[in-house]
């Protein structure tokens, strides 16, 4: 009888219909239909491809098998998928009508149908089929002993055609393996544009055959060979991703000018011996690679024909490395100081009737359009390139917002109203260490502005930007992920998908699975903490990092000179991340406690306070043999002492000292220690003040 | 008074002389002199290089600064070291008399002197200076708040000139980043030969311009481009490491023959229709890439001129990629079955008076010598190449031992007695998952054989071999390290350095510091366990893995067909390592307890037994949502139940059942579960039997 009961229970479990809430899909698909039953996996599972796909589907199908292998330990007998119709009887059938092309406006839709005996993917092209395989991997379920997919039909397509990540490989060089694993993660999140910021004040990162001086003098030996670049473009294309390279001009030019000072705008006043004659001498100016962070003056000379000759030669060599249609030329943050001070440039402006630096920059940028056209590339630039004379073919990259003293993404509306295509990055600056909700709720489509349909159509999508002033190859993954998974959902899913609790729950699961693609956000945190603890027990550091977040919005490394591009950034702040693990839960517990004084909430708070009191002792313990732990002690001490007070307050003990609590709360708000801030201050404040 | 006391204590601590036992150096240097006092580190620490070094010293000095930055968080102001005498007043002075050359017999000695105000390195060349920098990093000490080096003078040089690691990139391809980080780890252990096994039955891993068919048909797209190879050779040279490539011929040839079946030895008997005529037809033979592990028959045809023509063309393309003097041509495990069955080859042997397959193979190998000579390369091969006609210039790689039915490294003595130079790998097969002591106590210099000085001089050194039948890029580091650090000590340090306790203690510390070079042995174990636990708490898996070791010496994947080259190997056995963390301690506790029945030992044993009883419950708990945990339960259950019995036994309870304990011990000895074995069986057996 017992045996029968077990059997019955298993049958029940395996035919039960999954609920929408139980699925951890991200980005959330456009449409899901649930059926009863499951598709059970075993080692004989095979994949078959039909139709006329691009060969990237074979890479994707083989990788899909291996990832499913790794998770399930089933180790399917099928090795590499290499051609169409290898196994007509396979349980997974992938049909692609045609070969997908890497670029915008491609049909990326798919339909995924899971039935108990067969799984089928139908897609217009391999691009959609690749997305379907990622959805399928996210659908994997298990019970105690086996793995299965729930019977569902998913019909899906992206909301925006540009779903990008920018990686700054100039400030901190990011090696090939970093780029590749992040391309894998992008594909897992159905993102399709990799914007590669290759040149800035801190370095030139492209091997040049003709002008070897660029890497010889301006890369510290850290650059991508042309073969590596072509390899990455291919790797990206195999994952449905377009690569958009960026060479930032005319500002951010320290690296270029370190190699070619003769095309710089700077002039110096020199005193010639005893005659004391003074002359402007641009030929004597030298530049050097920037080691710090900030906005710097070195700028190309737009009045010098040699500038355009060199840029033309550079584009002639760089453009063919990239198969995509777009080339980003930067154009941001040129303050024009060296232009103002250069008489030759001032004369040039008068002659060409250029009223101001903005018009001069437009003149400069317009010269680049034919250089790119020659290689079938269209120009893209940061929003500063948009002035009245700028070609309407250019794509405007909207990035400014309140940090720059303007309304969030104001240039986006201007751009589409003026006939430009545009991509939004304001609101998606993941380097600013903000919480995920700050990005998730930003929509590329402006909410309070009425746009005509054709104007809306010019909003291509958005792009998360990973600037690397404070980001090394060791920490970059934890700065991009998992928050960018939520941004990817914004770019792909319906505009109405905005539930924060659902997003957080799904992001947490999806984040763990990024590990199988080599993403290091979890493992490298542990590496950093082990080093900080001097290879003692890291538990106390883990506990403290669960309430600490790195300083946000340009407040770390203020002035840009505390850390240099060669600083390894192995500090506690580098191990911490936004969305500190315990903070949300603590702050919510406080809300709950204040609302109804529930015993459960009080017990939860007591647990937290006791943990923090104990943790200060533990941190002090390991600090005796770990200098890198010392800087954390003051903030941890404040949290510990405030916790002691709040324990007294909760227990209504007379020993509670209200003024001391207020003092300690102020200390807990400090941003002066170890480059971190306490993410539980909101909750602490409410408890102190109630 | 308290303040004064603290000050006094600090002063005392910082001038106290360190003891030999407190230093975690590996390999242990030839000579250390201790002085009182320390060199204190601060952010203004700088490096200066003088003399006539090769430019690799600048790479090494810059990397040294960054690693010290990362550990200490001091973030020195000095960025990249790029030329000699940049900072004459620097605290670290490196003097190299001349530029070192990559190869054997180079002077790698150094003297490192740390004084309270200056650190100086004197070396014959940059090669020795690089070793000195590694020693200096290992000397780093700290108190609660700061970092310092103890005042010592170290005079050091290697015992053997060949201190190598072989990595098999054929069976499981190992990407460039895996190779590079392991080159860094090798340099940290003062190793100087990277033997790169690039071709085997499972794949051809070298981009070929002329014979693209080799990678098209025989690599699954997994190979190194020529640029990558040259990059790795340069990367190795910058770390003082010689790269020795291997193309394994004439056996292990499935990959080559998949591309060029016409140079294979196999013949087939075919039946021609109804006439039933039978003929030997080598032209109709096809080969395919091997997916399993084992010794296979595909072998090159030594009687076919086309074989030598192709090999000549291959060497013409491959040799120039490597700047070193040695080329390994394999030559192992050719069983000659296809030669025996091939009438054309039999005829060839008669004609050339070759009495047996061994002589035929020598004939074959001798043809390769001039092909390599043409490129200034000397031939090296596994011991099977050594027969009476083999050129004395060849280096014999001794690998066979008891597993192959011969005395350990017998060929080494034969080789040197016959005038060959030789390298020992028998005893250093780290893929066999043996404990570190099994390798550490093997000396390249045979102990029980009297050799003449010139014979001894022919023993160049040794090489750890990392065969990758069961090793992926994710797990390779944990298979090489930390055990190979102990092997490196055998190759470098004095023959009398053999204390196992000292070695284990030092290896443990050195192992952690390999993390800073990107070695993943610690972090990736956690990644694997997270996946196995299905992202639940991994504590129970950690506890169990601390007593489990992967099956040893070819007993995992018996028959070679359970796992394929594309299996991701993400199982519990892949997370486990030799020298299981708790096993040594437990087995020692048992010894101690049995010797004197000490209360401390008994308490220690009780703690272990209780932990294992509880752990079975915890494993069962997570297994409810983790299919990959299921295979571990039977072994854990046996350990748990035996622990319960042994707790009763220790407490002299009447409920103890001796026969049950014996039964459970047998179950604990099982090697049938999850590809692992319990490393605490020795101790358990003693407790059961006492």
- Determine contact, residues A245/A318, Cβ cutoff 8 Å: yes
Taking residues B165-176, what's their average pLDDT?
98
Number of other CB atoms surrounding residue A501 within 10 Å: 7
Answer positive or negative: Cα dihedral of A601, A602, A606, A609.
positive
Q: What are A327's strand-pairing partners?
A: A379
Task: For residues B499 and B630, give the distance between their C-alpha atoms in angstroms, rounded to a whole number.
Answer: 40
Task: For residues B464 and A373, give the distance between their C-alpha atoms in angstroms, rounded to a whole number.
Answer: 55
Task: For residues B249 and B256, give the distance between their C-alpha atoms in angstroms, rounded to a whole number.
Answer: 9
Q: Which pLDDT tens digit goes with each residue over A295-318?
A: 999 999 999 999 999 999 999 999
Q: Which of A402-406, A623-627, B91-95, B222-226 has the lowest mean pLDDT?
A: A402-406
Structure tokens at A12: 């029940």
**Whether the predicted pLDDT of A6 surpasses 50:** no
CA A20, chain centre distance (Å): 27
Taking residues A484-506, what's their average pLDDT?
97
Taking residues B395-420, what's their average pLDDT?
94
pLDDT bracket for residue B283 (50, 70, 90):
low
Whether B75 sits inside 8 A of A568 (CB atoms) is: yes
Q: What is the pTM of this model?
A: 0.95
Whether B530 sits inside 8 A of A512 (CB atoms) is: yes
Amino acid A517: pLDDT: 97
Whether A570 sits inside 8 A of B522 (CB atoms) is: no
- Exposure string for B502-537, b = 16+ CB within 10 A, e = fewer: ebbebbbebbbbbbbbbbbbbbbbbbbbbbbbbbbe
Substitution target in A73, A517, A573 with the highest count of B β-carbons within 10 Å is: A73
**Whether the predicted pLDDT of A19 surpasses 60:** yes
Amino acid B16: pLDDT: 55
Residue with the two structure tokens 């380097």: A431
Substitution target in B570, B571, B573, B623 with the highest count of A β-carbons within 10 Å is: B570
Task: For residues A205 and A185, give the distance between their C-alpha atoms in angstroms, rounded to a whole number.
Answer: 23
Amino acid A669: pLDDT: 97
- What distance separates the 2 farthest-apart alpha carbons in chain A? 112
Taking residues B631-655, what's their average pLDDT?
97
Amino acid A281: pLDDT: 57
- Our CA-based measurement puts residue A44 at a distance from the nearest CA of chain B, in whole angstroms, of 14
- Using a CB-CB distance cutoff of 8 angstroms, which residues of chain B are in contact with residue A171? none
Distances (CA, A) of A339 to A21, A344, A347: 58, 9, 11
**Whether the predicted pLDDT of B3 surpasses 80:** no
- Strands A395-398, A378-382: pairing is parallel
- Taking alpha carbons only, the member of A437, A356, A438 closest to residue A403 is A438
Exposed/middle/buried for residue B583 (C-beta within 10 Å: 0-12, 13-18, 19+)? buried
pLDDT bracket for residue B20 (50, 70, 90):
confident
B206 Rama class: left (phi>0) / alpha (psi -120 to 50) / beta: beta
Taking the Cβ of residue A512 and every Cβ of chain B, the question of whether any pair is shorter than 8 Å is answered with yes
CA B562, chain centre distance (Å): 24
Distances (CA, A) of B534 to A437, B43, B45, B124, B467: 27, 44, 47, 54, 29
| Helix H or strand E encompassing B125 | strand B119-125
Task: For residues A586 and B556, give the distance between their C-alpha atoms in angstroms, rounded to a whole number.
Answer: 48
- Our CA-based measurement puts residue A149 at a distance from the nearest CA of chain B, in whole angstroms, of 15
Amino acid B285: pLDDT: 86
The string of DSSP letters for B450-510 reads ---HHHHHTEEEEEEEE--TT--TTTHHHHHTTHHHHHHHHHHS-TT---HHHHHHHHHHH
- Taking alpha carbons only, the member of A661, A606, A665 closest to residue A635 is A665
Taking the Cβ of residue B258 and every Cβ of chain A, the question of whether any pair is shorter than 8 Å is answered with no
- Determine contact, residues B457/B494, Cβ cutoff 8 Å: no
Q: Which of A21-25, A544-548, B517-521 has the lowest mean pLDDT?
A: A21-25
The contacts of residue B22 (CB under 8 Å, 6+ apart) are none
| Angle at the Cα of B164 from the Cα atoms of B161 and B170, rounded to 5 degrees | 150
Whether B627 sits inside 8 A of A175 (CB atoms) is: no
Which residues 548-607 of B are in CB contact (within 8 Å) with A? 563-568, 570-571
Substitution target in A59, A566, A634 with the highest count of B β-carbons within 10 Å is: A566
Amino acid A271: pLDDT: 63
What ipTM was estimated for this complex? 0.94
- Determine contact, residues A515/B530, Cβ cutoff 8 Å: yes
Residue of B nearest to A620 (CA): B144
Whether B627 sits inside 8 A of A145 (CB atoms) is: yes
- Determine contact, residues B541/B619, Cβ cutoff 8 Å: yes
- Using a CB-CB distance cutoff of 8 angstroms, which residues of chain A are in contact with residue B624? 144
- Taking alpha carbons only, the member of A491, A488, A464, A489 closest to residue A476 is A464
Is cis: bond before A623, omega within 30 of 0? no
Q: What are B49's strand-pairing partners?
A: B94
**Whether the predicted pLDDT of A196 surpasses 50:** yes
Q: Which of B142, B526, B570 sits opposite A70 (nearest CB)?
A: B570
Number of other CB atoms surrounding residue B2 within 10 Å: 6
Substitution target in A209, A506, A531 with the highest count of B β-carbons within 10 Å is: A531
Answer positive or negative: Cα dihedral of A75, A78, A79, A84.
negative
Amino acid A627: pLDDT: 98
Whether A516 sits inside 8 A of B526 (CB atoms) is: no
- Determine contact, residues B311/B371, Cβ cutoff 8 Å: yes
- Taking alpha carbons only, the member of A449, A369, A454 closest to residue A409 is A449
Task: For residues B399 and B459, give the distance between their C-alpha atoms in angstroms, rounded to a whole number.
Answer: 14
- Taking alpha carbons only, the member of B162, B221, B223, B225 closest to residue B192 is B162
- Using a CB-CB distance cutoff of 8 angstroms, which residues of chain A are in contact with residue B537? none
Q: Which pLDDT tens digit goes with each residue over B488-516?
A: 999 999 999 999 999 999 999 999 999 99
Q: Which of B66, B567, B625 sits opposite A566 (nearest CB)?
A: B66
CA A360, chain centre distance (Å): 33
- Our CA-based measurement puts residue A518 at a distance from the nearest CA of chain B, in whole angstroms, of 9
Which residues 149-168 of B are in CB contact (within 8 Å) with A? none
- Taking alpha carbons only, the member of A262, A308, A304 closest to residue A285 is A262
Residue with the two structure tokens 């190309």: A300
Structure tokens at B658: 């001796």
Amino acid A17: pLDDT: 64
**Whether the predicted pLDDT of B11 surpasses 90:** no
Number of other CB atoms surrounding residue A591 within 10 Å: 14
- Using a CB-CB distance cutoff of 8 angstroms, which residues of chain A are in contact with residue B508? none
Taking the Cβ of residue A80 and every Cβ of chain B, the question of whether any pair is shorter than 8 Å is answered with yes
pLDDT bracket for residue B282 (50, 70, 90):
low
Which residues 212-231 of A are in CB contact (within 8 Å) with B? 220, 225, 227, 231
Which residue has better confidence, B1 or B462? B462
Amino acid A310: pLDDT: 97
- Using a CB-CB distance cutoff of 8 angstroms, which residues of chain A are in contact with residue B526? 522-523, 526
Task: For residues B367 and B249, give the distance between their C-alpha atoms in angstroms, rounded to a whole number.
Answer: 12
Count the alpha carbons within 13 Å of B52 in the hemisphere toward its beta carbon: 6
Answer positive or negative: Cα dihedral of A424, A427, A432, A433.
negative
Residue of A nearest to B567 (CA): A75
Whether A566 sits inside 8 A of B225 (CB atoms) is: no
Number of other CB atoms surrounding residue B410 within 10 Å: 17
- Exposure string for B5-25, b = 16+ CB within 10 A, e = fewer: eeeeeeeeebeeebeeeebbb
CA A673, chain centre distance (Å): 26
Residue of B nearest to A526 (CA): B523
Task: For residues B571 and B470, give the distance between their C-alpha atoms in angstroms, rounded to a whole number.
Answer: 11
Whether B524 sits inside 8 A of A523 (CB atoms) is: yes
Task: For residues B411 and B458, give the distance between their C-alpha atoms in angstroms, rounded to a whole number.
Answer: 13
Whether A73 sits inside 8 A of B522 (CB atoms) is: no
Q: Which pLDDT tens digit goes with each residue over B181-238?
A: 999 999 999 999 999 999 999 999 999 999 999 999 999 999 999 999 999 999 999 9
- Determine contact, residues B123/B134, Cβ cutoff 8 Å: no
Taking residues B331-355, what's their average pLDDT?
94
Q: Which of B522, B566, B570 sits opposite A79 (nearest CB)?
A: B566
The string of DSSP letters for B520-538 reads -TTHHHHHHHHHHTTSS--
Number of other CB atoms surrounding residue B416 within 10 Å: 24
Taking the Cβ of residue A526 and every Cβ of chain B, the question of whether any pair is shorter than 8 Å is answered with yes
Q: Which of A291, A526, A625 sits opposite B79 (nearest CB)?
A: A291
Query: Going along B364-410, which residue ranges are E strands?
Result: 378-382, 395-398
- Determine contact, residues A243/A104, Cβ cutoff 8 Å: no
**Whether the predicted pLDDT of A1 surpasses 90:** no
Question: B228-233 — which CB contacts under 8 Å span 24+ positions?
Answer: B228/B176, B229/B321, B229/B322, B230/B321, B231/A225, B231/B176, B232/B176, B232/B179, B232/B180, B232/B183, B232/B196, B233/B321, B233/B322, B233/B323, B233/B324
- Determine contact, residues B412/B397, Cβ cutoff 8 Å: no
Q: Which of B79, B291, B570 sits opposite A564 (nearest CB)?
A: B79
Strand, coil or helix: B653: coil
Answer positive or negative: Cα dihedral of B487, B489, B495, B500.
negative
Whether B145 sits inside 8 A of A227 (CB atoms) is: no
- Taking alpha carbons only, the member of A418, A417, A398, A416 closest to residue A408 is A398
Give backbone dihedrals phi and psi of A613, rounded to 5 degrees, phi first. -65, -50
Task: For residues B503 and B26, give the distance between their C-alpha atoms in angstroms, rounded to a whole number.
Answer: 8
Q: Which of B75, B80, B291 sits opposite A79 (nearest CB)?
A: B291
Whether A571 sits inside 8 A of B526 (CB atoms) is: no
């Amino acid at each position: 009888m017992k045996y029968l009961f077990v059997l019955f229970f298993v049958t029940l479990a395996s035919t039960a219909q999954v609920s929408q809430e139980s699925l951890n899909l991200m980005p959330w698909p456009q449409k899901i239909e649930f059926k009863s039953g499951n598709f059970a996996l075993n080692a004989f599972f095979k994949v078959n491809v039909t139709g006329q796909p691009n060969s990237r589907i074979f890479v994707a199908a083989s990788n899909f098998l291996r990832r499913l292998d790794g998770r399930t330990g089933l180790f399917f007998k099928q090795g590499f998928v290499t051609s169409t119709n290898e196994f007509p009887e396979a349980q997974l059938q992938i049909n692609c009508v045609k070969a997908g092309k890497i670029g915008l406006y491609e049909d990326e839709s798919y339909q995924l149908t899971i039935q108990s005996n067969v799984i089928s993917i139908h897609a217009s092209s391999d691009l959609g089929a690749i997305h379907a395989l990622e959805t399928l991997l996210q659908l994997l379920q298990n019970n105690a002993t086996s793995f299965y997919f729930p019977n569902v039909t998913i019909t899906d397509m992206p909301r925006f055609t540009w779903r990008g990540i920018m990686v700054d490989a100039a400030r901190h060089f990011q090696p090939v393996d970093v780029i590749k694993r992040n391309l894998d993660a992008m594909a897992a999140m159905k993102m399709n544009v990799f914007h590669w910021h290759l040149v800035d004040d801190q370095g030139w990162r492209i091997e040049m055959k003709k002008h070897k001086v660029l890497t010889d003098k301006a890369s510290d030996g850290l650059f991508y060979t042309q073969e590596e670049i072509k390899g990455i473009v291919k790797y990206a294309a195999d994952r449905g991703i377009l690569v958009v390279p960026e060479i930032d001009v005319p500002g951010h030019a320290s690296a270029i000018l370190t190699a070619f000072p003769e095309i710089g705008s700077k002039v110096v006043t020199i005193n010639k011996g005893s005659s004391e004659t003074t002359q402007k001498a641009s030929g004597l100016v030298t530049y050097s690679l920037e080691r710090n962070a900030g906005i710097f003056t070195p700028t190309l000379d737009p009045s010098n024909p040699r500038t355009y000759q060199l840029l033309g030669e550079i584009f002639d060599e760089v453009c063919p490395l990239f198969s995509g249609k777009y080339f980003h030329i930067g154009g941001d943050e040129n303050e024009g100081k060296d232009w103002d001070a250069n008489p030759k440039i001032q004369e040039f402006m008068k002659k060409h009737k250029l009223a101001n630096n903005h018009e001069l920059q437009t003149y400069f940028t317009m010269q680049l359009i034919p250089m790119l056209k020659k290689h079938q590339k269209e120009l893209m630039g940061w929003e500063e390139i948009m002035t009245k004379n700028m070609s309407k073919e250019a794509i405007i990259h909207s990035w400014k917002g309140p940090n720059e003293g303007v309304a969030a993404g104001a240039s986006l509306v201007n751009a589409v109203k003026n006939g430009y295509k545009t991509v939004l990055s304001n609101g998606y600056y993941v380097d600013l260490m903000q919480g995920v909700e700050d990005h998730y709720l930003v929509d590329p489509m402006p909410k309070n502005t009425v746009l005509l349909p054709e104007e809306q159509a010019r909003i291509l999508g958005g792009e998360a930007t990973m600037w690397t002033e404070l980001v090394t190859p060791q920490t970059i993954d934890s700065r991009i992920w998992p928050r960018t998974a939520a941004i990817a959902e914004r770019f792909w899913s319906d505009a109405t998908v905005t539930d924060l609790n659902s997003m957080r729950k799904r992001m947490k699961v999806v984040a763990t699975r990024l590990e199988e693609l080599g993403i290091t956000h979890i493992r490298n945190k542990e590496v950093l903490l082990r080093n900080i603890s001097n290879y003692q027990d890291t538990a106390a550091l883990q506990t403290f990092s669960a309430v600490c977040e790195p300083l946000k919005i340009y407040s770390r490394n203020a002035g840009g000179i505390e850390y240099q591009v060669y600083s390894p950034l192995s500090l506690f702040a580098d191990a911490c991340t936004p969305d500190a693990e315990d903070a949300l839960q603590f702050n919510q517990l406080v809300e709950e406690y204040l609302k109804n004084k529930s015993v459960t909430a009080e017990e939860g708070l007591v647990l937290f306070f006791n943990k923090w009191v104990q943790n200060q002792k533990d941190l002090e313990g390991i600090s005796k043999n770990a200098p890198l732990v010392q800087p954390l002690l003051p903030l941890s001490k404040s949290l510990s002492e405030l916790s002691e007070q709040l324990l007294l307050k909760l227990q209504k003990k007379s020993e509670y000292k209200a003024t001391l609590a207020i003092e300690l709360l102020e200390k807990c708000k400090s941003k002066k220690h170890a480059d971190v801030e306490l993410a539980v201050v909101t909750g602490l404040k409410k408890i102190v003040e109630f």
